[in-house]
Amino acid sequence: MSPSRPTKSPPPASRRDFLKLSGTAAAATALAGVAVPRVHAAEDNTIKLALVGCGGRGTGAVANALSTSGGPVKLVAMADLFENRLTGSFNRLSGQFKDKIDVPPERQFIGFDAYKKAIDCLGPSDVVLLTTHAAFRPLMLEYAVGKGVNVFAEKSFATDGPNTRRWLKAAEISEQKNLKVGVGFMWRHSKGREEVIQRIHDGEIGDVHTLRIYRVHGPVHCPRRPAEANEIAFQLQHPNSFTWVSSGFFIDWHCHNVDVACWAKGSWPVKAQAFGGRCYEAAGNQFDHFTVEYTFADGAKLFAFSRHMNGCWNTYSDYAHGSKGSALLMAALGQPRTKLYKSQNMVPEEMVWQFEGNEPNPYVVEWQLLLDAIRNDTPHNEARRAGEAEVAAIMGRTAAHTGQEVTWDQVMKSDFQFVADIDNLTFETPAPIQEGPDGIYPCPQPGLTKEL
């Protein structure tokens, strides 16, 4: 499939389907821009949640969902591979939200197939939170969509070409079924970014010729695996250190910035070439630094810089440069403080605009949008765009790991898989990456490594 523009809303087809399905009255009001009658409110107003993946982000996402306004929300099921993770999350949420947590032991599921049982607890107006690791996201989306359940999926969304295609296929079906899918690209719902990017699209900095994004900060280290630890369990418990689990540092951590930069540019890149390496063996099987050069169809460049080391200079920021000026897309994590400058020299004297509005917590905003869309049955499906951002991110990582120039089409057609049969993974499956005799996990070797 050819990439859509990253600014695009769900395609017209699903919109039409939605209108057909939801009847003329709803369609008329939706078109008139008036609040749609609460289709969902007819029977039971409560939206039920199932949490699949009870780590910090999943637990946080439940808290964000429970912090929205517009109607009752309740957590009814939880699933994880590890009981202690589930219990910890349950205790934390119960303490904070009390009666909004309705997860009795019979709806607490442990194991590789726990996600199915949790999703099976939901009905058509409910939401499953897919917050495990990227390796499992496509198959879980597929299952949820098959069951007709709405989805909130945390980034990143896939790990390689085949499971990105699987994600995109499930995304397509979710559109056909008029399901609501929100994804963890919360920066897409940041007011400061929305406004600065609108101004860029309106031509205020001219043609965008380069963008640069930085995720340059301290590391998440991989400890030595204890001799008695199960290899699969150990790797799943240290997702950032293993490409097959999380899609790796570059994607899992930097895909936000890649997504925002492409949003600002208004298109996806067509190819990438990259450098990467490992200066510290504690990075697991990961590179701990990357430079990716993306090229867009019009020749514009996106430079992505990623480093995970202590003792070095840190920045977490995004910039766009146009023929008539430049833009600060993000000054620091959580504080975009977007600005426009009349030249390439981003100094205070050259500033012509800055975002002055309030920046509501985007983690809550993304939930408000999703739950409102469910209650009002308005279109809201970010799955396709998320899958396309994943393709862009995989281009960059693959270029860094292999040392080759990698095109969009190569990723889309790639048959390379990190895990042959992720659906049937167990703790007994031989680990996709094996530690070396020195206890160090091998990292890619550009020029030799194949990932396409």
Partner 1 sequence: MTKQINNGSPAGTSRRAFLKTSAAAAALGGLSLGRSAHAAGNDEIKVGMIGCGGRCSGAAGAALAQGADVKLAAMTDVFEARMAAKRDYFKKRFPNQFAGTGETCVFGLDGYKRVIEASDAVLIACASKFHSYYAGEAIKAGKHVFIEKPHAIDPAGCVRLKQVCDMARQKNLSIVSGHESRYSTAYQEQTKQIHDGIIGDVVAIQSMFLRAPYRVIARPAGLSETEYHFYNWYHFRWLSGDDVSQSLVHNLDRMRWVLREENPTWCFGLGGRSTSFGEVYGDMFDHHTVTYEFKSGPRLYAMCQTRNGCYGNWDDIIMGTKGVCHWTACRIEGETNWHYEGPKNNPHSAEQEILIGSIRAGKPVNHGDTMIDSTYTAIMGQIACYTGTPVTWEQVTGAQFEFEPKVADVRLDMEAPTKPDATGNYPLPVPGQTEYL
Radius of gyration of the chain, Cα coordinates, nearest whole angstrom = 22
> Which helix (DSSP H) or strand (DSSP E) does residue 249 occupy?
helix 248-265
CA angle 288, 294, 298 (to 5 degrees): 170
Cβ at position 210, least distance to partner 1 in Å: 4
Cβ at position 216, least distance to partner 1 in Å: 8
55 vs 403 by CB, closer to partner 1: 403
Cβ at position 391, least distance to partner 1 in Å: 19
| Binding-site ranges for partner 1 (CB under 8 A) | 206, 209-210, 212, 273, 275-280, 287-291, 293, 299, 301, 303, 305, 307, 309-313, 321, 323-324, 343-345, 399, 403-405, 443-448
Cβ at position 64, least distance to partner 1 in Å: 34
348 vs 447 by CB, closer to partner 1: 447
29 vs 344 by CB, closer to partner 1: 344
Cβ at position 345, least distance to partner 1 in Å: 5
Cβ at position 291, least distance to partner 1 in Å: 4
Query: Which of these, 404, 251, 417, 297, lies nearest to 2 by C-alpha position?
Result: 297
Cβ at position 306, least distance to partner 1 in Å: 8
User: Cα(152)–Cα(144) distance, rounded to whole angstroms?
Assistant: 10
User: Cα(392)–Cα(258) distance, rounded to whole angstroms?
Assistant: 8
Cβ at position 265, least distance to partner 1 in Å: 14
Which token pair is 409? Answer: 């089409």
Task: Name the pairing type of β-strands 73-80 and 47-52.
Answer: parallel
> Contact at 8 Å (CB) between 280 and 312?
no
65 vs 304 by CB, closer to partner 1: 304
77 vs 443 by CB, closer to partner 1: 443
205 vs 260 by CB, closer to partner 1: 205
Cβ at position 276, least distance to partner 1 in Å: 6
> Contact at 8 Å (CB) between 219 and 269?
no
Which token pair is 201? Answer: 């699209």
User: Cα(40)–Cα(37) distance, rounded to whole angstroms?
Assistant: 8
184 vs 276 by CB, closer to partner 1: 276
CA angle 409, 413, 415 (to 5 degrees): 145
Strand order, beta sheet including 181-183: 108-110, 73-80, 47-52, 127-130, 150-153, 181-183
98 vs 313 by CB, closer to partner 1: 313
95 vs 311 by CB, closer to partner 1: 311
Cβ at position 289, least distance to partner 1 in Å: 5
> Which helix (DSSP H) or strand (DSSP E) does residue 174 occupy?
helix 161-176
Task: Name the pairing type of β-strands 301-308 and 47-52.
Answer: unpaired
User: Cα(256)–Cα(358) distance, rounded to whole angstroms?
Assistant: 21
> Contact at 8 Å (CB) between 270 and 407?
yes
278 vs 397 by CB, closer to partner 1: 278
97 vs 275 by CB, closer to partner 1: 275
Query: Which of these, 1, 7, 47, lies nearest to 259 by C-alpha position?
Result: 7
Cβ at position 375, least distance to partner 1 in Å: 46
Per-residue b or e along 386-412, where b marks 16 or more CB atoms closer than 10 Å to that residue's CB = bbbbbbbbbbbbbbbbbbbebbbebbb
